Amino acid sequence: MNKLAVVAFGGNALLRGDQAGSYAEQVENVRATCENLVDLIKQGYDIVIGHGNGPQVGNVLLQHDAGEEKYQVLAQPMHFCVSETQGSIAYLIEQQLQNVLNKYDIKKNILSLVTRVIVDKDDTAFQNPTKPVGPYYTKAQADQLENLNGWAFKEDPRGRGWRRVVASPKPVDIVNWEIVERLAREGNIVITVGGGGIPVIEDANGEMEGIDAVIDKDLASATLACKIKANDFYILTDVPNVFIKFNTPEQQKLETISISEIEKHLADGQFTEGSMAPKVRACIMFVKNGGKEAIITEATQLKNSSAGTKIIA
């Protein structure tokens, strides 16, 4: 039986900070990331892919708002927009990955699942929005949009501007995770929990209803990885390793590190909220719940089995 890995695509796998967000740019970025997945497949992994949607869902929300204002086409709620981006981004990944597999004469089916993720309607995240979505704004633009729409904004920790933030509740359950596991263990590549999944709440009668939020894609992917009993969990980001004392003369690269050690660094505030801290928490959760190891790295490092920051028990 092949090893099973869940791979969470970071935002840079789809759209980079200095890009306008054209279809051609996204195709090129996705293709480059998928080229690197071949290395995992050659290492004997079956793969499940999760992905983010922060820039895309923000842009879709802006498109809906503009359409309503200019053309009287009713804007749809955020959870509906999350479902739109699940489909569009999965299409990009599925098509480019298929092209890459054909290039290397690898025969695998690729399936995309529109995925709902159950959250708790009483999650305190709804009172404290933290998840960035959409483009970067100047402080003046953010203030204007906050006054106009009642949106919340926070400054980007890397100094790139201000972004809208929304509630990011914790995933409670992944709908249809059993089917994801079965398909993956049969050798199919499954794209799921896109954008962290479509957030839904469940009432006492089992009725489900969408709710406006964006679930952290790393935490949703880690939750899925635990449920399907994946061997390894990969988070692909824009740096090859996790660092402490980041961007200082004392910067230190983390390679293989235990849960207890990285938890100390997390408690010391070494990892920025909205950036590396959620990724570290997702990895800790996976390993604490039976995963072999969680790896945070840049996609080009997948060819090197010793690369990246590995979090182990």
User: Has 108 been annotated as catalytic?
Assistant: no
CA 146 to chain centre: 26
- Residue from 131, 241, 274, 310 carrying the catalytic annotation: 131
User: Among positive and negative, which fits the CA dihedral 147, 148, 152, 158?
Assistant: negative
Contact yes or no for 239/298 (Cβ under 8 A): yes
- Residue from 11, 50, 134, 291 carrying the catalytic annotation: 11
Contact yes or no for 226/285 (Cβ under 8 A): yes
H runs (alpha helix) in the chain: 23-42, 54-71, 78-103, 139-149, 177-185, 217-227, 259-267, 276-288
Per-residue CA distances from 296 to 15, 160, 183, 271, 307 (Å): 19, 23, 25, 13, 9
What's the rounded Cα separation, in Å, for the pair 187 and 2?
A: 8
- Residue from 59, 134, 195, 279 carrying the catalytic annotation: 279
Residue 151 has, within 13 A of its CA and on its CB side, a CA count of 26
CB neighbourhood size of 241 (10 A): 18
User: Has 217 been annotated as catalytic?
Assistant: yes
What's the rounded Cα separation, in Å, for the pair 254 and 235?
A: 15
- Residue from 12, 29, 36, 53 carrying the catalytic annotation: 12
Name beta bridge partners: 257: 311
User: Has 11 been annotated as catalytic?
Assistant: yes
- Residue from 50, 217, 308, 310 carrying the catalytic annotation: 217
Contact yes or no for 130/168 (Cβ under 8 A): yes
Using DSSP bridges, classify how beta strands 208-210 and 198-202 pair: parallel, antiparallel or unpaired.
antiparallel
List residues with catalytic annotation: 11-12, 131, 217, 279
